[in-house]
Every structure is written in C-alpha cells, then in structure tokens.
Structure 1
Amino acid sequence: MTQLLGEFDCKLDAKGRLMVPSALKKQLPNAEEEGLIVNRGFEKNLIIYPKSVWDAILLDLSKLNVYEKENREFIRAFTRGATILSLDAAGRVLLPKSLVDYAGIGSDLVLACQLDRIELWDKKAYEDSFDNVPENFANLAQKVMGGKKGGTDGE
C-alpha cells in the first residue's frame, strides 16, 4: 500500500510544468512507467494519485449502481478532468490548464502528501486553509480518531 509523506513547495514554469521533487519521486518508484493521475479535489485543489491508487478508486466507482441518478452525478463530477500525467526526461509533468484554472493555482504551489495521494494547492490557498483549522485540534482528533483502540494501531 502506498504511503506518501512530506510537504513540498514548488513552482510551475511558464509552460505549466511542475518539477516533481526528487524526495517525492523516490516515494513513487512506478510513476515513470505507470504515470500518475491528476484530478479535481473536493476543495479548490487538485489531487495526484499513483496509478494503482486511481485504479482502486475506479474499481470502487464501478460497483456503484449507475441506474441511480446520484451515483451517476457523483461519478461524473468525480472523474471530470481526470488526466494521466507522464514524467518527462527532466522529471516534470504538464498540468492541464483547465485543472490549474479550476484550483486557482498560480506559479507558487504546495504538494502535500495525504496517505496514498498528493494534494496540489496554490501556496496561498494552502496556507489560508489552515486559518480554518478548528481552534481545538485535540477535540477534533478525539471526535475523528477517538474510537480507534490505542490511537495508532488501526483497529
């Protein structure tokens, strides 16, 4: 199972290309052969998935009953804009302009690893998102994770 770690400040070049940081590239050993998938996030950001993670998500989506309108709407909205990213010889990926525009990404951005995926944010939007972190993070942790035995063993 892919477990990514780190937060990386990056820049887009004039052509909309992103240099994948070497420390992140080391965590994605199959990215050059399999590619990565970029898509819209639930917030105004983008998500980059390793191909194997994206394939597992598609498998889950394929189990939804497409005769139910909400399921069709969700599948349509979730997969809208999904694009395969290929690393070039210099380790860069070209981000689709439509997705960059959707997320309001300027030249400065942040790649934030979140378990098995990478959130891609405009740097200012990412920093501003922490203004909305609950005042009492400990209460949030208890609410979200409090039922887990031992707190870290995943039971």
Structure 2
Amino acid sequence: MNYLIGQYECKLDAKARMVVPAALKRQLPDVEREGLVVNRGFDKNLVIYTRAEWNKILDQLSRLNQFQAKNRDFVRKFTSGATELMLDAAGRVLLPKNLLEYAAIGAELVLVCNLTKVELWDKVRYEEKMDAFTEEDFSELAEQVMGDVDLDGLTGV
C-alpha cells in the first residue's frame, strides 16, 4: 500500500478550481484516468480520496446492517455531498460550492496528506488548528496513542 506524503498550499481561482500540485499528482498515478472523490471531513474540512480508496470505504459501508437506523443515518450523512473530481487539461479540479461552504474554505487552502487520503483545509483555519496544539500537547498525545505499540504494531506488549 502506498501512503501519501506532503503538505501543499494552493489557491482557488474565481471558478473554484484548484490545480492539483505536481508533487501530489505524481503520488496518484491513476488520477487522470480514474479521478478523485471529495467529501465532507469530520473536522469541518474536506477529504479527497482516490477512486480506489473511496470504493474501499463504500465496501465497508455496504456491510453495515441497513435495518439499524443509526447505520442508515451514518451512511446517508457520510456519503451526502460526495462528488467525483476529474482533472481538466490544465490539471485542475472543480470543487463543489456546497462543500467549500461546508468547510468555510476561502481562496487560500492547504492540502495535507493523511495516510491514504488528502485533507483539504482553509489555510487560516488549518493554521489556527495546528497552532492551538503545542509541542507538549503533541508529545502527550503521542504517548497516549502510540505508547503501547511495539515495533511490530501490536498493542499492549
């Protein structure tokens, strides 16, 4: 499995198009053929998935018991607004207005690679979120999250 790396600052043009940075595009070899999927994130941001990653998530969602209301509600809310993105000849994608409004994204944005997906944030909101997290906070969080993980990834060892 290939994990995405990097952080990229981008700008939206007047038509809400964003150029996919070349360094990120190189990590997404099938992007021009298969496109991408953008969706709401859990932190008032957007998340961009490759088509393959999005299909894996849909496979997981399809296994939820649809007779339980909470499962139907989650699937409905999670998938609402999901939109296919196709690169144009200039390497741009058109971001949907309703998703940009949801995440309060202005003209300047930040793409942050997060394992197999890319988070898309308004630049100012992302900087505020990161600045609110001190190095000491991060150190404590690392201990809580990773403190019981051995080198083989087994917890509690």
For normalisation by structure 1, the TM-score amounts to: 0.95
Partner of 1:149: 150
Partner of 1:105: 105
Q: Deviations over 1:63-90 (max 9, x none)?
A: 1001101101110111010000000011
Partner of 2:63: 63
1:8 lines up with 2:32 in the alignment: no
Partner of 2:95: 95
Q: CA deviation at 1:136?
A: 2.7
For normalisation by structure 2, the TM-score amounts to: 0.94
Structure 2, unaligned stretches of length 5 or more?
none
Q: Secondary structure at the match of 2:70?
A: helix
Q: CA deviation at 1:145?
A: 1.1
Report the Cα distance in structure 2 between the residues aligned to 1:41 and 1:90, rounded to whole angstroms. 26
1:9-28 maps to which residues of 2 (within 5 A)?
A: 9-28=9-28
Give the stretch that moved more between structures: 134-143 or 62-71. Answer: 134-143
Report the Cα distance in structure 1 between the residues aligned to 2:14 and 2:137, rounded to whole angstroms. 41
Q: CA deviation at 1:22?
A: 0.3
Q: CA deviation at 1:131?
A: 3.2
- Opposite residue 101 of structure 1, the aligned amino acid is E
Partner of 1:114: 114
CA RMSD of aligned residues (A): 1.1
Q: Secondary structure at the match of 1:136?
A: helix
1:25-104 maps to which residues of 2 (within 5 A)?
A: 25-104=25-104
Report the Cα distance in structure 2 between the residues aligned to 1:48 and 1:13, rounded to whole angstroms. 18
